[in-house]
């Protein structure tokens, strides 16, 4: 089999563009597409982080390594990266390492030397490191840019208050922001982005002041955060009911909405407060157009399209955002994941909004990983009534961490943790099926992949 050739003519006019390229493909007016992958180096100690990069051939989908890449990610254990609109600056979140020198950071054994490293994006996709910035909390693990492109937000699993030697309600930021008796929490660190230089400057919390009248330098969120996203004027934080053993943080069971002010970067806890989801193993919360999807890695008993009882390893919950950020469930909002796959961790809706794909990480094993892969759905029946494509699953490498679409809307790529590879495939626009290409469809990396993003730029 080979990559389908869709012709040399591609759309060159101005297309709509979001503020970031991090969760799904970024569509812009472009002449060249680039794929960036964060990861670690197997042969190096201490979680050495790198960024690999490839130029995408928009006729075949084949990848060619960008000259001078890989480069250092600027720290250990890179876990997320985002790209500003206009493709001028890229930011990588490096989680750092715990005292044992591995990535299993916990509240008791936190990550050290975490940072956000800024890169300038040059001609031919080359990345040049610029400056390094630091979140206010500990164990940072999620990163996003708001829709205006003016603010960058970091989700820290543990706020500075979690490490206080003694509890003082008059100075404890968790208590001041979240209520009496709340002694521990996570936090969001907010930075304003200088549009000329890309430099980040800390945004103080104008909503909460500690003893002495000093504002907090972070925005407390409830304990055990798992993931967060920006949707409209709200920041939604998925949290767990219990403390996870180590990273990656899972067990999402409830969502906390915050009102977000795009002119100042301020966050205010919504009047709705916590919203239980009725689940215990949530892994991610992701927006696709106006729909919020929560991925949940727990068994589901359901009735399939043939009205027969069936079981899936995991599920997807669909919502819209209502008043004060409350999630609104429609009729039958629970969608079964592909029965043969497990551990859904990332979602992509292709550019024409006809198909939706779920990357399932599967088991933590190398080599053959039968529960790793991509589940495909038809969206045209409705975002709350997704129907499986035929076939309903497509291959990937072992342990995909992300799934993205190239700027010409023809190819899909996953970056895979357990076999240290990138997999490129073709989207059939008529059926939504994903099929392998002919040459070098699996591209080896120097170590496990952690994240990927697409850059569609002129140059």
Statement: residue 265 has pLDDT above 80: yes
DSSP 8-state assignment for residue 365: -
Q: Is the pLDDT of residue 376 over 90?
A: yes
Cα–Cα distance between 298 and 307 in angstroms, integer?
21
pLDDT for residue 365: 58
Six token digits for residue 11: 């759309």
Q: So what CATH class is 32-457?
A: mainly beta
- At residue 121's C-alpha, the angle toward residues 68 and 117, to 5°, is 90
Q: Are 257 and 271 in contact (CB under 8 A)?
A: no
The per-residue pLDDT for range 161-196, each reduced to its tens digit, is: 999 888 989 889 999 999 998 999 999 999 999 999
Q: Where are the beta strands (DSSP E) in 45-180?
A: 48-56, 63-65, 71-76, 78-83, 89-94, 115-121, 127-133, 138-145, 151-158
Q: Residue 384's pLDDT band (boundaries 50, 70, 90)?
A: confident
Residue with the bigger pLDDT between 264 and 28: it is 264
- 98-137 pLDDT tens trace: 888 877 788 888 999 999 999 999 988 999 999 999 999 9
DSSP 71-95: EEEEEESEEEEEEBTTS-EEEEEE-
Q: What is the mean pLDDT of residues 40-61?
A: 89
Q: Given this model, what pLDDT does residue 204 score? A: 96
Tokens of 410: 């023809």
pLDDT confidence of residue 23:
40
Indicate the pTM of the whole model.
0.90
Among the ranges given (43-57, 193-207, 276-290, 434-448), the one the predictor scored with the smallest mean pLDDT? 434-448
Q: How do residues 6-40 score in pLDDT, each as one tens digit?
A: 333 333 333 333 334 444 344 444 457 999 999 99
How does pLDDT run across 322-353, given as a tens digit for each residue?
Answer: 888 999 887 777 889 999 999 999 999 999 99
pLDDT the model gives residue 383: 67
Cβ contacts of residue 179 below 8 Å, gap of 6+?
none
């Amino acid at each position: 089999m080979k990559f389908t050739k869709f012709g040399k003519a591609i759309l060159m006019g101005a297309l709509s563009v979001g503020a970031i390229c991090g969760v799904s493909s970024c569509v812009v007016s472009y002449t060249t597409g680039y794929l960036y992958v964060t990861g670690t180096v197997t042969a190096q100690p201490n979680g050495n982080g790198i960024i690999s990069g490839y130029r995408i051939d928009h006729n075949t989908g084949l990848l060619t390594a960008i000259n001078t890449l890989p480069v250092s990610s600027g720290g250990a254990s890179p876990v997320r990266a985002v790209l500003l609109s206009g493709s001028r600056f890229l930011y990588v979140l490096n989680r750092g390492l715990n005292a044992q020198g591995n990535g299993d950071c916990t509240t008791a054994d936190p990550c050290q030397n975490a940072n956000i490293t800024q890169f300038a994006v040059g001609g031919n996709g080359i990345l040049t490191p610029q400056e390094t910035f630091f979140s206010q909390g500990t164990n940072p693990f999620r990163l996003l840019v708001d829709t205006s492109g003016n603010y960058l937000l970091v989700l820290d699993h543990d706020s500075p208050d979690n490490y206080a030697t003694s509890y003082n309600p008059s100075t404890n930021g968790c208590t001041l922001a979240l209520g009496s008796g709340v002694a521990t929490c996570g936090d969001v660190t907010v930075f304003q982005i200088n549009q000329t230089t890309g430099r980040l400057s800390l945004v103080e919390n104008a909503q909460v002041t500690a003893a002495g009248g000093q504002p907090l330098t972070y925005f407390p969120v409830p304990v055990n955060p798992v993931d967060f996203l920006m949707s409209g004027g709200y920041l939604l934080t998925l949290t767990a009911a219990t403390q996870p053993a180590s990273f990656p943080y899972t067990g999402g069971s409830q969502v906390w909405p915050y009102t977000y002010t795009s002119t100042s970067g301020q966050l205010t806890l919504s009047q709705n407060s916590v919203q239980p989801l009725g689940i215990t193993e949530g892994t991610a919360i992701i927006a696709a157009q106006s729909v919020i999807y929560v991925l949940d890695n727990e068994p589901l008993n359901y009735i399939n399209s043939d009205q027969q009882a069936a079981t899936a390893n995991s599920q997807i919950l669909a919502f819209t955002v209502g008043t004060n950020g409350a999630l609104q469930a429609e009729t039958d909002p629970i969608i079964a994941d592909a029965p043969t796959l497990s551990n859904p961790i990332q979602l992509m809706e292709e550019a024409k909004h006809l198909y939706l794909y779920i990357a399932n990480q599967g088991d933590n094993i190398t080599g053959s990983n039968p529960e790793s892969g991509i589940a495909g759905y038809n969206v045209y029946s409705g975002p709350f009534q997704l129907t499986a494509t035929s076939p309903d699953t497509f291959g990937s490498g072992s342990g995909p961490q992300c799934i993205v679409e190239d700027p010409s809307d023809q190819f899909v790529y996953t970056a895979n943790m357990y076999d240290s590879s990138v997999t490129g495939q073709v989207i059939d626009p008529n059926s939504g099926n994903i099929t392998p290409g002919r040459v070098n469809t699996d591209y080896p990396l120097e170590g496990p992949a952690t994240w990927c993003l697409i850059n569609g730029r002129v140059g």
